[in-house]
Structure 1
Amino acid sequence: MSISYLWSRSLLMNRYFLWLLFVCNLLGTVYGYIWYAQQMVYTMDHNPFWQVIFVPDSPTASLFFTIAVLFLLYPPKSLLGIGFRHLVEALAVVTSVKYGIWAVSIIFASVAQGSEMVWQDWMLVASHTAMAVEALIYVRFFKFGGSVIIAAAAWTFLNDTVDYTYGIFPWLPQQLNDDVSSIQFFTFGLTLFSALITWLALKQAKRY
């Protein structure tokens, strides 16, 4: 078997493989919401209820990708369904790349400042790296166009704005609590970077 088979259409769009990908991402999404449960409860107790939707960043990105995989298995037929699919796909790629990189960066930044690297951290590094990689791999199978990336970036910038305006950004390791301003700039910059990478990946995919 050629190594190129690992990223070939025949493997990546095989329905059994897509179902495996769907289940893995669904389980990861559920785990992610459980991971954020305490912060979500805290937010609902201390902030307006509407803000809770902006708390679980990575699980929501994973949810977008999970739904995007489901659309590969069962493409919508209606105009409304097709439009929704395009938006979800763009959100899946932009947010998966953004939060995949963000989480890994935060983990290693905290380690650099003295945090101990435990097995959960390695698990999160692996899973969040996979988020970013799988999103970029599947760009060529998604149907959204470049203009929808603007909407996905706008949502992600809104999420960033709410996070750092109301202090509901993901709870940080203790070592990084004095670096919130730097993390805020990094987060906004990463949204722009992720949108750009998504556009470049889409442009490259259209060539094949």
Structure 2
Amino acid sequence: FLLYPPHFKSLKVIRQIMEALAVVTSVKYGIWASAIILWGVAQGGPMVWQDWMLIASHTAMAVEALLFVRFFSCKWIALCLAALWTLLNDTMDYTYGIYPYLPRTLTDDVTQVRTFTYMLTLVSIVAAWLAMLARNRKVSSYRELA
């Protein structure tokens, strides 16, 4: 969508929703994966080289999403849909026990992980909203200069 922007209104709407989901979920799962790995290690779990790779790549994923917001065309309604979808996903994960892999040391802390996950979702939504606000302010200041 960045390389070949759509010309049809329906595809533009799909693009906006996908971009909003990309920002919210990339920030959320980028931080979530890193935090869960470190939380598991803090409770006595082993730290292997793959964990370091996952921490680096997931943290970079979260940062990258916030950097790319300036190129996105997502609107507020798309962000609201992404927020609802992500919160629904959290509800399904922790209601039906289909949440992502947890280190063995965290299997007795699912309630705390659930709370952390919901809070992180809310933080990710706010981060996406703030990034979109900054993008819109920059765009409007460029228009004022023109």
With normalisation by structure 1, the TM-score equals 0.65
In the TM superposition, what are the counterparts of 1:143-182 in structure 2 within 5 Å?
A: 143-182=73-112
In the TM superposition, what are the counterparts of 1:105-124 in structure 2 within 5 Å?
A: 105-124=35-54
Residues 176-206 of structure 1: CA deviation (Å, up to 9, x unaligned) = 0110000001111111110011000110111
**1:11 matched residue in structure 2:** none
**1:130 matched residue in structure 2:** 60
**1:139 matched residue in structure 2:** 69
**2:10 matched residue in structure 1:** 80
What amino acid maps onto 2:10 in structure 1?
A: L
**1:199 matched residue in structure 2:** 129
Q: Which segment drifts farther, 140-149 or 154-163?
A: 140-149
**Alignment RMSD (CA, Å):** 0.7
Shift of 1:122: 0.5
Shift of 1:147: 2.3
Task: Give the distance between the partners of 1:75 and 1:126, measured in 2 at CA.
Answer: 31
Task: Give the distance between the partners of 1:81 and 1:185, measured in 2 at CA.
Answer: 35
Task: Give the distance between the partners of 2:83 and 2:120, measured in 1 at CA.
Answer: 11
Moved over 2 A (4+): none
Task: Give the distance between the partners of 2:27 and 2:67, measured in 1 at CA.
Answer: 11
What amino acid maps onto 2:126 in structure 1?
A: L
2:33 paired residue among 86, 93, 103 = 103
**1:8 matched residue in structure 2:** none
Q: How many pairs align?
A: 138
What percent identity do the matched residue pairs reach?
Answer: 59
